[in-house]
Amino acid sequence: MKLGAALDALRQSELDLARKLREVAERQAAEVDVHHLATALAEQCDRHAEGLEPFVERYADGGAEDELLGDLRGLYLTAEGVIFGWIQVNQAAHAARDRELLELASELSPETEAQVKWVLTKAKEATPQALTS
């Protein structure tokens, strides 16, 4: 069973997100809403990581992350970054009143969203067997 590795990776991801949220909160101290919400979200991540700890210990197995799931995680994270880019371009195209750029973003961003859905579907299909066998 490789569930322990997945739980530990999730716990570490929560701690990494908490750290990054705190860094943003510090850099954006002048943006009061960003500062306060990023700090609160970091605290949530800390609680998530703490809640996972007993399960990390329960399922500790020393195994590595499944290769397919690792590949899918990487694809998902990259595709989410691309979606963020399309959101920025779409908003900027609206502000600049650039119809051509807006049409491009409107045409292409749904394809990236479909790619993310495919990755998530594959991950949902592969996870039970990969983590419990």
**How do residues 49-73 score in pLDDT, each as one tens digit?**
999 999 999 998 767 778 999 999 9
Q: Domain ranges for the chain, please list them.
A: 1-64, 66-133
Cβ neighbours of residue 102 closer than 8 Å, sequence gap 6 or more: 90, 93, 94
Q: What is the pLDDT of residues 70-104, one digit of tens each?
A: 999 999 999 999 999 999 999 999 999 999 999 99
- Reading the block at residue 3, the tokens are 């569930």
Other C-beta atoms lying within 10 Å of the C-beta of residue 32: 9
Please report which helix (H) or strand (E) contains residue 7, including its range. helix 3-27
3-state percent breakdown (helix, strand, coil) of the chain, nearest 5: 85, 0, 15
